[in-house]
A and B are shown apart, each in its own frame.
Chain A
């Protein structure tokens, strides 16, 4: 039985679900609230005493409310109870991993343009999730065409690809190459059957079409083999576990490499796997540190950020040219690069904490985009580091790039901004609006100046249907009211003063550590930057990305147990990734069900 964390740890995370009026089609919304690892009835990280009625009845010794919780909350999740075992479905290389892997597998070869069919993902998921990886005919065709083109390109420099000393027997050289190349392509030693199968292919083709074509066709087979395109894991029996198997050293090396680098293991990792040393904690820790300190890990973190925050929303972003004449296509490109640079420095340079992400005053600007951050032009076409006015803007939420992408072409959108925070930072995505309601942003009436807030409040609060969710959504989103549709600061709108007061958690019947009123973006950013709810939410996104699985209800428990001990918002997410890679779940897999 899969248990996470081990039953002895006594960790309890009371998890409540978003309930109240805005429940719609929501499923799986989790709000991790308190962590009580030592079972003393106090939140370990804040020292706040957990009210007895917030604890689950099943948790003997803690007392507590009846199953079902209070005030409409669903039962709290006990992290020390056995959870349903998570599946570990066979993973396929994503397009990005496939491309990276081919580059690393054939370093001397100029790769042709690759055919990469469109990938899809769940609404809240990542491309690496197995359930989104359907082997459609497009992919099969693309892999076949790519393999053929790559093989043709690779054999142009045959002597480089298949070294063969002067006078050596070409067939012997070919056989040696099959062994060595196969080990890299399959990320493990070839089985006896595979070795002879691929050697036979090489020799059969060589007899009819010559050695060069033999290598080309053998390459084509390697690059379309399920052992290359997928990452099959079978594990090996391990003493003391019930129903789980330890990954083999090669499988672990592959998991580590794709998690931290998005590509195949390099020679060092393969060597550690080959000798079995990787199964020892010391060697694994050493390898993890090495992987994490390499630039390839930054590329993976950037991919995570891109997917987690759905930054494709910045691609091709346009604004109404009559209202924002300087916002052109190049601005959109620069804004996206600026946002990635910000996320990169927050993760790698500024401690990699939620706190840094939400409160760093840094921005990266050039002459083109500085005005959108209300900064003077730095006299540079390249992006340079500048400090934003910390009384107006902080962190991720203060980036003009993000603010302009969460807006309409003409006006700002408190709704989009509120949903962004709820979905990505608090893991409480509101449901889609009912299809049959008018969700057109209300228009200003000529001659009667109004603010976006006034118009939205009138529309959303006048109907019970709208109000149910929009009190929650707009309550957060109104906090951004000082920022217009391109992310610039304003003190008035249509001559009227700005009201940026907001509230988090309307309609959430359960108390969380971020519920309550705030005024303006910086207050919201600071509030969330020390929030355990937000920290665990970010952690669950990383965990989902690391696993290649959709989020599950137990994730907050897992994250809570793996986050480094620090006050809320101050745990290093980089250390958290290391903890994931050292966790029992990462090092083992469930028995395959026949």
Chain B
């Protein structure tokens, strides 16, 4: 009797769930609209057009706002920025599983920062789930997060597209002051440094993210490609204020030694101006990106 009742209960729940997926407006129930703030929709729509690139950049918003493909193109280097909002190593690993063979880069540059190592990866997954096909790797990413939010986003996104609006019908929404540049770069000119940028926060690095970072290094090396770890520049004042940044530097140096790979920490840096070259405490603006990318090309002897 209890089993029959339970089966009936869950059957009705499933029907109601599908019905609500159909009728509830997306804006009311999704944290993120297709597109999101990082132009993920535009990025994932064009990625399959690129093959055999020179450098693949992996990371969160600092990454896709930090590497301008036009500057690299001028130096004869083809690149792609594979990032999403608040992307952590966990998210990067599954995206790499999805696209490493297709893009076939000679070098993978993995952006490592304190903030991304302290994330659980759910925000990035939500950004990816609403802007990408639900493939095996995206589903595995959702399951790996071990979070109710990601677990119910997977079927609900799948059902929404099946019943209501396929992904192909969406368009990338325009975001004020941001411009999407092909090959995954998001350009912006805003400057909005505020006092909160320079408070000392305590960060707790997730062990799981460190594990996925190791997985990324091993995956890339198994494919016979070069991997470089980098920490993108932040304002000097922020680097000096947040003491936990040193934990990441120590960890990356240890990884570099263990796997015999290069690690470049661009902090504290001398070639950028805290006021003129940064949009906020974590992101370069277009002026800063130009200087940083030229420095990156010089250090890696890519020219």
Do A and B form a real pair? no
B residues in contact (CB < 8 Å) with A:
none
A residues in contact (CB < 8 Å) with B:
none
